[in-house]
Amino acid sequence: MTRQKLTILGATGSIGLSTLDVVARHPDRYEVLALTGNNRVDVMFEQCVQHRPRHAVVGHERDAEPLTARLRAAGLATEVLAGPQALEFVAALPEVDAVMAAIVGAAGLPPTMAAVRAGKRVLLANKEALVMAGALFMAEVRAHGAVLLPIDSEHNAVFQSLPADYAGDAANSGVSHILLTASGGPFRTTPLERLKTVTPDEACAHPNWSMGRKISVDSATMMNKGLEVIEARWLFNLTPEQIQVVIHPQSVIHSLVQYVDGSVVAELGNPDMRTPIAHALAWPDRVVSGVAPLDLPTIAHLDFERPDFERFPCLGLAFRVLRAGGNAPAVLNAANEIAVAAFLDGKLPFLDIARIITATLDRVVFAETPDLPAILAADVEARTVASDLVNRWLA
Protein backbone atom coordinates (compact mmCIF):
# COMPACT_ATOMS: atom_id res chain seq x y z
CA MET A 1 0.00 0.00 0.00
CA THR A 2 1.30 3.46 -0.94
CA ARG A 3 1.33 5.70 2.10
CA GLN A 4 -0.69 8.91 1.96
CA LYS A 5 1.60 11.92 2.44
CA LEU A 6 0.28 14.57 4.80
CA THR A 7 0.78 18.20 5.73
CA ILE A 8 -0.79 19.07 9.08
CA LEU A 9 -1.47 22.79 9.48
CA GLY A 10 -1.91 23.54 13.17
CA ALA A 11 -0.22 20.35 14.38
CA THR A 12 0.27 21.57 17.95
CA GLY A 13 -3.42 22.43 18.53
CA SER A 14 -6.13 20.06 19.69
CA ILE A 15 -7.15 18.94 16.18
CA GLY A 16 -3.52 18.52 15.17
CA LEU A 17 -2.77 16.41 18.22
CA SER A 18 -5.80 14.20 17.54
CA THR A 19 -4.80 13.86 13.90
CA LEU A 20 -1.31 12.69 14.82
CA ASP A 21 -2.82 10.23 17.29
CA VAL A 22 -4.85 8.65 14.47
CA VAL A 23 -1.88 8.76 12.07
CA ALA A 24 0.37 7.02 14.60
CA ARG A 25 -2.06 4.08 14.69
CA HIS A 26 -1.59 3.50 10.95
CA PRO A 27 2.10 3.85 10.01
CA ASP A 28 1.47 1.68 6.96
CA ARG A 29 -1.12 4.16 5.58
CA TYR A 30 0.18 7.65 6.43
CA GLU A 31 3.43 9.57 6.23
CA VAL A 32 3.81 13.06 7.72
CA LEU A 33 5.67 15.33 5.31
CA ALA A 34 5.15 18.66 7.07
CA LEU A 35 4.02 19.89 10.48
CA THR A 36 3.19 23.47 11.40
CA GLY A 37 2.65 25.18 14.72
CA ASN A 38 2.81 28.71 16.01
CA ASN A 39 4.82 29.13 19.20
CA ARG A 40 4.51 25.75 20.97
CA VAL A 41 8.07 24.87 20.06
CA ASP A 42 8.53 22.15 22.67
CA VAL A 43 5.46 20.33 21.37
CA MET A 44 6.66 20.76 17.80
CA PHE A 45 10.04 19.29 18.71
CA GLU A 46 8.47 16.18 20.25
CA GLN A 47 6.22 15.77 17.20
CA CYS A 48 9.19 16.01 14.88
CA VAL A 49 11.07 13.39 16.88
CA GLN A 50 8.12 11.01 16.65
CA HIS A 51 6.98 11.62 13.07
CA ARG A 52 10.22 12.80 11.37
CA PRO A 53 8.67 15.23 8.88
CA ARG A 54 10.65 16.77 6.04
CA HIS A 55 9.49 20.27 7.04
CA ALA A 56 8.42 21.99 10.27
CA VAL A 57 6.97 25.50 10.26
CA VAL A 58 6.88 27.82 13.27
CA GLY A 59 5.25 31.21 13.54
CA HIS A 60 8.32 33.38 14.09
CA GLU A 61 11.92 33.42 12.89
CA ARG A 62 13.11 33.73 16.49
CA ASP A 63 11.94 30.17 17.14
CA ALA A 64 13.33 28.62 13.96
CA GLU A 65 17.03 28.58 14.84
CA PRO A 66 16.64 27.08 18.36
CA LEU A 67 14.30 24.40 17.01
CA THR A 68 16.72 23.59 14.21
CA ALA A 69 19.55 23.21 16.74
CA ARG A 70 17.49 20.85 18.90
CA LEU A 71 16.49 18.75 15.90
CA ARG A 72 20.08 18.48 14.68
CA ALA A 73 21.19 17.43 18.15
CA ALA A 74 18.54 14.72 18.02
CA GLY A 75 19.88 13.53 14.67
CA LEU A 76 17.00 14.84 12.54
CA ALA A 77 17.35 16.62 9.20
CA THR A 78 13.90 18.30 9.34
CA GLU A 79 13.99 21.71 7.65
CA VAL A 80 12.57 24.43 9.91
CA LEU A 81 10.76 27.33 8.23
CA ALA A 82 8.89 30.30 9.68
CA GLY A 83 6.08 32.68 8.83
CA PRO A 84 2.90 32.83 6.73
CA GLN A 85 4.59 32.16 3.37
CA ALA A 86 6.11 28.97 4.75
CA LEU A 87 2.62 27.80 5.71
CA GLU A 88 1.46 28.25 2.13
CA PHE A 89 4.59 26.49 0.84
CA VAL A 90 4.05 23.30 2.85
CA ALA A 91 0.31 23.34 2.11
CA ALA A 92 1.01 23.17 -1.61
CA LEU A 93 3.99 20.78 -1.71
CA PRO A 94 3.70 18.70 -4.89
CA GLU A 95 4.32 15.43 -3.02
CA VAL A 96 1.55 16.05 -0.48
CA ASP A 97 -1.68 14.11 -0.98
CA ALA A 98 -3.78 15.57 1.84
CA VAL A 99 -3.69 18.67 4.02
CA MET A 100 -5.25 18.86 7.46
CA ALA A 101 -6.28 22.53 7.71
CA ALA A 102 -6.50 23.06 11.47
CA ILE A 103 -5.06 26.54 12.05
CA VAL A 104 -7.55 28.47 14.17
CA GLY A 105 -8.66 31.93 13.05
CA ALA A 106 -8.22 34.07 9.97
CA ALA A 107 -4.53 33.09 9.78
CA GLY A 108 -5.66 29.70 8.50
CA LEU A 109 -7.33 31.08 5.37
CA PRO A 110 -4.26 31.74 3.12
CA PRO A 111 -2.56 28.33 3.59
CA THR A 112 -5.88 26.51 3.28
CA MET A 113 -6.55 28.39 0.04
CA ALA A 114 -3.05 27.47 -1.13
CA ALA A 115 -3.84 23.79 -0.58
CA VAL A 116 -7.09 24.14 -2.53
CA ARG A 117 -5.35 25.90 -5.42
CA ALA A 118 -2.82 23.07 -5.50
CA GLY A 119 -5.71 20.64 -5.97
CA LYS A 120 -5.12 18.83 -2.69
CA ARG A 121 -7.44 16.69 -0.66
CA VAL A 122 -8.25 19.22 2.07
CA LEU A 123 -9.46 18.07 5.48
CA LEU A 124 -11.14 21.25 6.62
CA ALA A 125 -11.08 22.01 10.33
CA ASN A 126 -10.49 25.74 9.88
CA LYS A 127 -13.90 27.45 10.04
CA GLU A 128 -12.72 30.81 8.84
CA ALA A 129 -11.98 29.71 5.27
CA LEU A 130 -15.69 29.25 4.61
CA VAL A 131 -16.98 31.84 7.07
CA MET A 132 -14.88 34.66 5.64
CA ALA A 133 -14.82 33.70 1.97
CA GLY A 134 -17.33 30.91 1.38
CA ALA A 135 -18.33 31.75 -2.20
CA LEU A 136 -14.76 32.42 -3.30
CA PHE A 137 -13.39 29.38 -1.47
CA MET A 138 -15.89 26.95 -3.00
CA ALA A 139 -15.28 28.45 -6.45
CA GLU A 140 -11.56 27.71 -6.01
CA VAL A 141 -12.34 24.14 -4.89
CA ARG A 142 -14.29 23.58 -8.10
CA ALA A 143 -11.78 25.36 -10.33
CA HIS A 144 -8.78 23.36 -9.11
CA GLY A 145 -10.39 19.97 -8.56
CA ALA A 146 -9.64 19.90 -4.84
CA VAL A 147 -11.47 17.41 -2.63
CA LEU A 148 -12.99 19.02 0.46
CA LEU A 149 -13.76 16.83 3.47
CA PRO A 150 -15.24 18.43 6.61
CA ILE A 151 -13.65 17.75 9.99
CA ASP A 152 -16.02 19.60 12.32
CA SER A 153 -17.98 16.78 13.94
CA GLU A 154 -21.28 18.36 12.89
CA HIS A 155 -20.38 18.85 9.24
CA ASN A 156 -18.69 15.48 9.07
CA ALA A 157 -21.91 13.97 10.41
CA VAL A 158 -23.96 15.74 7.74
CA PHE A 159 -21.49 14.57 5.10
CA GLN A 160 -21.92 10.98 6.26
CA SER A 161 -25.72 11.32 6.40
CA LEU A 162 -26.19 12.75 2.89
CA PRO A 163 -26.38 10.52 -0.20
CA ALA A 164 -22.95 9.30 -1.28
CA ASP A 165 -23.29 11.10 -4.62
CA TYR A 166 -24.57 14.38 -3.13
CA ALA A 167 -23.27 17.25 -5.26
CA GLY A 168 -24.92 20.27 -3.69
CA ASP A 169 -28.42 19.82 -5.11
CA ALA A 170 -30.67 19.40 -2.06
CA ALA A 171 -33.94 19.35 -3.99
CA ASN A 172 -32.94 16.58 -6.39
CA SER A 173 -31.40 14.60 -3.52
CA GLY A 174 -34.64 14.63 -1.52
CA VAL A 175 -33.09 16.73 1.26
CA SER A 176 -35.47 18.97 3.19
CA HIS A 177 -33.00 20.49 5.68
CA ILE A 178 -30.16 19.67 8.03
CA LEU A 179 -30.03 19.91 11.81
CA LEU A 180 -26.73 20.86 13.42
CA THR A 181 -26.59 19.69 17.01
CA ALA A 182 -25.08 21.79 19.78
CA SER A 183 -24.30 20.80 23.34
CA GLY A 184 -25.33 24.19 24.69
CA GLY A 185 -21.92 24.54 26.31
CA PRO A 186 -21.28 25.16 30.01
CA PHE A 187 -24.00 27.83 30.39
CA ARG A 188 -27.01 26.04 28.88
CA THR A 189 -28.96 26.21 32.15
CA THR A 190 -27.07 28.97 33.97
CA PRO A 191 -29.37 31.78 35.17
CA LEU A 192 -29.11 34.71 32.75
CA GLU A 193 -28.19 37.12 35.56
CA ARG A 194 -25.24 34.89 36.48
CA LEU A 195 -23.78 35.23 32.96
CA LYS A 196 -22.74 38.80 33.79
CA THR A 197 -19.99 37.50 36.08
CA VAL A 198 -18.77 34.24 34.51
CA THR A 199 -15.00 33.83 34.29
CA PRO A 200 -12.81 32.65 31.40
CA ASP A 201 -12.09 29.39 33.21
CA GLU A 202 -15.82 28.76 33.63
CA ALA A 203 -16.44 29.51 29.95
CA CYS A 204 -13.66 27.11 28.92
CA ALA A 205 -15.01 24.22 31.01
CA HIS A 206 -16.90 22.48 28.22
CA PRO A 207 -19.04 19.60 29.49
CA ASN A 208 -18.27 17.20 26.62
CA TRP A 209 -15.41 18.27 24.37
CA SER A 210 -11.73 18.97 25.02
CA MET A 211 -10.86 22.04 22.96
CA GLY A 212 -8.64 25.12 22.91
CA ARG A 213 -9.66 28.17 24.94
CA LYS A 214 -10.87 30.32 22.05
CA ILE A 215 -13.13 27.66 20.58
CA SER A 216 -14.34 26.76 24.07
CA VAL A 217 -15.53 30.34 24.60
CA ASP A 218 -17.16 30.22 21.17
CA SER A 219 -19.02 27.13 22.32
CA ALA A 220 -20.12 28.91 25.50
CA THR A 221 -21.56 31.82 23.46
CA MET A 222 -22.74 29.44 20.69
CA MET A 223 -20.81 31.55 18.19
CA ASN A 224 -19.09 28.28 17.34
CA LYS A 225 -22.44 26.91 16.19
CA GLY A 226 -23.17 30.14 14.35
CA LEU A 227 -19.93 29.83 12.41
CA GLU A 228 -20.84 26.22 11.64
CA VAL A 229 -24.19 27.38 10.25
CA ILE A 230 -22.33 29.66 7.84
CA GLU A 231 -19.93 26.86 6.93
CA ALA A 232 -22.78 24.45 6.28
CA ARG A 233 -24.39 26.87 3.85
CA TRP A 234 -21.29 26.69 1.64
CA LEU A 235 -20.27 23.08 2.19
CA PHE A 236 -23.67 21.69 1.25
CA ASN A 237 -25.11 24.53 -0.92
CA LEU A 238 -28.08 25.19 1.37
CA THR A 239 -30.20 28.25 2.07
CA PRO A 240 -30.30 29.70 5.62
CA GLU A 241 -33.83 28.29 5.92
CA GLN A 242 -32.52 24.77 5.25
CA ILE A 243 -30.18 24.91 8.27
CA GLN A 244 -31.51 24.42 11.78
CA VAL A 245 -29.78 24.20 15.15
CA VAL A 246 -30.94 21.92 17.95
CA ILE A 247 -29.52 21.71 21.47
CA HIS A 248 -28.47 18.16 22.31
CA PRO A 249 -26.60 18.15 25.64
CA GLN A 250 -25.14 14.64 25.35
CA SER A 251 -23.26 15.38 22.09
CA VAL A 252 -23.89 11.82 20.90
CA ILE A 253 -25.87 12.67 17.77
CA HIS A 254 -23.49 14.93 15.89
CA SER A 255 -25.97 16.13 13.26
CA LEU A 256 -28.95 14.98 11.22
CA VAL A 257 -30.37 15.24 7.71
CA GLN A 258 -34.14 15.50 7.27
CA TYR A 259 -35.44 14.12 3.96
CA VAL A 260 -38.64 15.10 2.21
CA ASP A 261 -40.15 11.64 2.74
CA GLY A 262 -40.01 12.07 6.52
CA SER A 263 -36.82 10.07 7.05
CA VAL A 264 -34.12 11.47 9.32
CA VAL A 265 -30.58 10.13 8.95
CA ALA A 266 -28.11 10.85 11.75
CA GLU A 267 -24.50 10.06 12.66
CA LEU A 268 -23.84 9.06 16.26
CA GLY A 269 -20.67 8.50 18.23
CA ASN A 270 -18.82 9.36 21.39
CA PRO A 271 -17.70 13.03 21.53
CA ASP A 272 -14.13 12.56 20.31
CA MET A 273 -12.66 14.43 17.33
CA ARG A 274 -10.63 11.40 16.31
CA THR A 275 -13.79 9.92 14.77
CA PRO A 276 -14.33 12.59 12.07
CA ILE A 277 -10.57 12.89 11.60
CA ALA A 278 -10.20 9.17 10.95
CA HIS A 279 -13.22 9.23 8.66
CA ALA A 280 -11.77 12.03 6.52
CA LEU A 281 -8.25 10.60 6.49
CA ALA A 282 -9.42 7.23 5.24
CA TRP A 283 -12.46 8.23 3.16
CA PRO A 284 -14.03 6.40 1.43
CA ASP A 285 -12.52 3.63 3.56
CA ARG A 286 -12.75 3.26 7.34
CA VAL A 287 -9.89 2.87 9.82
CA VAL A 288 -9.58 2.44 13.57
CA SER A 289 -9.59 5.83 15.31
CA GLY A 290 -8.89 4.87 18.91
CA VAL A 291 -12.34 6.08 20.00
CA ALA A 292 -14.31 3.86 22.37
CA PRO A 293 -17.42 2.33 20.80
CA LEU A 294 -20.76 3.95 21.60
CA ASP A 295 -22.72 2.17 24.33
CA LEU A 296 -26.34 3.33 23.98
CA PRO A 297 -27.74 1.44 27.00
CA THR A 298 -25.19 3.24 29.20
CA ILE A 299 -26.18 6.61 27.75
CA ALA A 300 -29.83 5.64 28.37
CA HIS A 301 -31.45 8.80 26.99
CA LEU A 302 -30.92 11.60 24.49
CA ASP A 303 -32.34 15.10 25.05
CA PHE A 304 -33.18 17.88 22.59
CA GLU A 305 -34.10 21.56 23.00
CA ARG A 306 -34.62 24.58 20.77
CA PRO A 307 -31.85 27.18 21.10
CA ASP A 308 -32.62 30.24 23.24
CA PHE A 309 -31.55 33.29 21.22
CA GLU A 310 -31.78 35.53 24.28
CA ARG A 311 -29.24 33.34 26.07
CA PHE A 312 -27.14 32.92 22.90
CA PRO A 313 -27.30 36.20 20.93
CA CYS A 314 -24.16 35.26 18.97
CA LEU A 315 -26.13 32.50 17.24
CA GLY A 316 -28.65 35.06 16.08
CA LEU A 317 -25.86 37.32 14.83
CA ALA A 318 -24.49 34.45 12.72
CA PHE A 319 -27.86 33.92 11.03
CA ARG A 320 -28.07 37.70 10.47
CA VAL A 321 -24.75 37.87 8.61
CA LEU A 322 -25.45 34.68 6.68
CA ARG A 323 -28.57 36.30 5.24
CA ALA A 324 -26.68 39.55 4.59
CA GLY A 325 -23.75 37.87 2.85
CA GLY A 326 -20.96 39.98 1.38
CA ASN A 327 -18.24 40.92 3.82
CA ALA A 328 -20.51 40.64 6.87
CA PRO A 329 -19.37 37.12 7.87
CA ALA A 330 -15.72 38.23 7.75
CA VAL A 331 -16.55 41.21 9.98
CA LEU A 332 -18.44 38.95 12.40
CA ASN A 333 -15.52 36.52 12.62
CA ALA A 334 -12.89 39.23 13.15
CA ALA A 335 -14.91 41.07 15.79
CA ASN A 336 -15.55 37.82 17.60
CA GLU A 337 -11.83 36.95 17.70
CA ILE A 338 -11.04 40.37 19.21
CA ALA A 339 -13.88 40.22 21.73
CA VAL A 340 -13.10 36.66 22.84
CA ALA A 341 -9.41 37.50 23.27
CA ALA A 342 -10.38 40.48 25.43
CA PHE A 343 -12.67 38.29 27.51
CA LEU A 344 -9.96 35.65 27.98
CA ASP A 345 -7.56 38.41 29.07
CA GLY A 346 -10.04 39.53 31.72
CA LYS A 347 -10.70 42.84 29.96
CA LEU A 348 -14.29 42.28 28.86
CA PRO A 349 -17.36 40.76 30.54
CA PHE A 350 -18.76 37.63 28.93
CA LEU A 351 -22.02 39.25 27.84
CA ASP A 352 -20.17 42.08 26.10
CA ILE A 353 -18.73 39.70 23.51
CA ALA A 354 -21.99 39.84 21.54
CA ARG A 355 -22.27 43.60 22.07
CA ILE A 356 -18.81 44.24 20.63
CA ILE A 357 -19.65 42.11 17.59
CA THR A 358 -22.97 43.89 17.02
CA ALA A 359 -21.37 47.31 17.29
CA THR A 360 -18.59 46.32 14.88
CA LEU A 361 -21.09 45.03 12.31
CA ASP A 362 -22.89 48.35 12.53
CA ARG A 363 -19.68 50.35 11.95
CA VAL A 364 -17.87 48.52 9.15
CA VAL A 365 -19.14 49.47 5.68
CA PHE A 366 -21.00 46.58 4.04
CA ALA A 367 -19.71 45.28 0.68
CA GLU A 368 -22.05 42.96 -1.21
CA THR A 369 -19.62 41.21 -3.59
CA PRO A 370 -16.08 41.52 -2.20
CA ASP A 371 -13.08 39.80 -3.73
CA LEU A 372 -10.47 38.12 -1.53
CA PRO A 373 -8.37 41.28 -0.96
CA ALA A 374 -11.55 43.14 0.03
CA ILE A 375 -12.48 40.36 2.44
CA LEU A 376 -9.04 40.47 4.03
CA ALA A 377 -9.31 44.28 4.22
CA ALA A 378 -12.68 43.96 5.96
CA ASP A 379 -11.08 41.55 8.40
CA VAL A 380 -8.37 44.10 9.23
CA GLU A 381 -10.85 46.96 9.53
CA ALA A 382 -13.17 44.95 11.77
CA ARG A 383 -10.30 44.05 14.09
CA THR A 384 -9.37 47.73 14.38
CA VAL A 385 -12.96 48.77 15.04
CA ALA A 386 -13.54 45.97 17.56
CA SER A 387 -10.27 46.75 19.37
CA ASP A 388 -11.24 50.42 19.62
CA LEU A 389 -14.62 49.42 21.01
CA VAL A 390 -13.00 47.18 23.62
CA ASN A 391 -10.73 50.02 24.66
CA ARG A 392 -13.72 52.35 25.02
CA TRP A 393 -15.51 49.70 27.08
CA LEU A 394 -12.47 49.69 29.40
CA ALA A 395 -12.21 53.48 29.63
Rounded mean pLDDT, 172-177: 97
With bands split at pLDDT 50, 70 and 90, how would you rate the model's confidence at 319?
A: very high
| Domain enclosing residue 137, as ranges | 4-150
Does a structural domain hold residue 252? no
Does a structural domain hold residue 281? no
Rounded mean pLDDT, 13-38: 96
CA atoms 319, 382, 351, 211: torsion sign: positive
Q: Please say if the pLDDT value at position 378 is more than 80.
A: yes
- Residue 43's domain is classified under what CATH number? 3.40.50.720
Does a structural domain hold residue 23? yes
Q: Would you tell me how many other CB atoms lie within 10 Å of the CB of residue 298?
A: 6
- Residue 378's domain is classified under what CATH number? 1.10.1740.10
Does a structural domain hold residue 176? no
pLDDT digits (tens, 9 = 90+) for 279-299: 999 999 999 999 999 999 998
Boundary-marking domain end, from 97, 122, 150? 150
With bands split at pLDDT 50, 70 and 90, how would you rate the model's confidence at 209?
A: low
With bands split at pLDDT 50, 70 and 90, how would you rate the model's confidence at 270?
A: very high
Determine what percent of the chain is predicted with pLDDT higher than 70: 98
Write down the pLDDT at residue 162. Answer: 97
More confident residue, 18 or 214: 18
Boundary-marking domain end, from 115, 150, 185? 150
Does a structural domain hold residue 130? yes
Count structural domains, the chain.
2
Does a structural domain hold residue 336? yes
Does a structural domain hold residue 266? no
Rounded mean pLDDT, 309-318: 95
Rounded mean pLDDT, 26-36: 97
Q: Please say if the pLDDT value at position 244 is more than 70.
A: yes
What is the average pLDDT value for the chain, to the nearest integer?
A: 94
Write down the pLDDT at residue 104. Answer: 82
Does a structural domain hold residue 211? no
pLDDT digits (tens, 9 = 90+) for 111-153: 999 999 999 999 999 888 899 999 999 999 999 999 999 999 9
Boundary-marking domain end, from 150, 185, 212? 150
